[in-house]
Structure 1
């Protein structure tokens, strides 16, 4: 019998005609824990997926992205980010166990949701936000690459990271004014290609916009991204 990867509760799939005729992908999380995940639905920012249920936007673009796109240093690099969930306390706990405590198996929770979104995305190449050598040694694996591997995606290492400081320790202003932290690894593959970047969390958008800027300046046609949470 399968057990929930979050609460360890035993899970039993209901036997229905639909399941018999078209088996569903087995989920790694029980209905109770799944119910605590908040999908981002309804009206959202066309750039970053932020929910626009509130006074956060001008039209279909949130105020954060309006500021990014009005800055000539950042405008036009990241075409679109799609995030799956709100970063609530439940998801924060799951990601902390996954990302910082090395519970690699928790990546399985997100596979069905990401596969659903990927079906509607267009891209030529997929890459993951890389960790610095120091951070990779500390964690033991790249959390974004682990998701891609479980999804069976063929990724290309297009970026290398040249910073070592933890972004989680930085203030919002510090993140948004960081110098470029990425270098291009395989420039010859980028010309006129649409790139999809995978990462775990969209916070200020700095990391993904820096990656998009590096990729587009090296010849990429367009850069979009998918993240677990926003």
Structure 2
């Protein structure tokens, strides 16, 4: 797909001219520099489990290289060692929220290529055997017309593995952290997956509940390890 305009603001993208542009194959540019700079890229030291920037956490809410949320997850024997690591690209600021809403709720499917342009480099550094989207309920899929996590995977050049289904339909965004943690299992595995390193893909990491429910389901089905990559960190 050849693009010469920003998929977010529709401004013309002016190619950079120089030796690199002349003698090497540049990555396809899908977003202008003005829009790119509005995303808050995660840099520096982060929580070793959830990728939340440690500099944004007050001292009383972190322990060494972990945020207290992740410490609490790992102290719970039901959830300990379920999700090995979450990787995120940007913080969920107002701009990321607006672009994500345009993608998910207003059906601007092509924006998947914008998210993919950030995610490809991170994906190249994460080892996995299967790349798996977080499934939507049938109702949510009907409303949106597509699964945003599958769109990310395909825009990054991979084929998503369909390993499990969603059996709970309530929106978790409406629930408190405690309600999310104690919610009954929301996924059902389709078949055993022994000796596999799984990478889950989702749009946003908030409390980590959805990803841990999915990871637990996969671990119980035989997966060796489960990590996740989300575009944004809430």
Q: Same fold (TM over 0.5)?
A: yes
After TM superposition, the structure 1 stretch with the greater mean CA deviation from structure 2, 165-174 or 212-221, is: 165-174
What CA RMSD, in Å, does the superposition of the two structures yield over aligned residues? 1.1
2:191–2:221 contact (8 Å) kept in structure 1: no
Length-normalised TM-score, structure 2? 0.94
Q: Deviations over 1:138-172 (max 9, x none)?
A: 00000000011111112211110001111222222
Q: Provide the residue aligned with 1:19 in structure 2.
A: 21
1:177 Cα deviation (Å)? Answer: 1.8
Which secondary structure state, in structure 1, belongs to the residue aligned with residue 43 of structure 2?
coil
Alignment of 1:205-224 (within 5 A): 205-224=208-227
Structure 1 segments of 4+ aligned residues over 4 angstroms from their partners: none
1:38–1:88 contact (8 Å) kept in structure 2: yes
Q: Provide the residue aligned with 2:87 in structure 1.
A: 82
Of residues 171, 182, 188, the one that matches 2:176 is 171
Q: Provide the residue aligned with 1:135 in structure 2.
A: 140
Alignment of 1:1-230 (within 5 A): 2-53=4-55, 54-55=57-58, 56-187=61-192, 190-230=193-233
- Rounded to whole Å, the distance in 2 between the matches of 1:157 and 1:77 is 20
- Rounded to whole Å, the distance in 2 between the matches of 1:185 and 1:137 is 21
Length-normalised TM-score, structure 1? 0.96
2:164–2:187 contact (8 Å) kept in structure 1: yes
Matched residue count: 228
1:157–1:186 contact (8 Å) kept in structure 2: no
Extract unaligned runs of 5+ from structure 1.
none
- Rounded to whole Å, the distance in 2 between the matches of 1:186 and 1:215 is 10
1:112 Cα deviation (Å)? Answer: 2.2
- Rounded to whole Å, the distance in 1 between the matches of 2:141 and 2:8 is 24
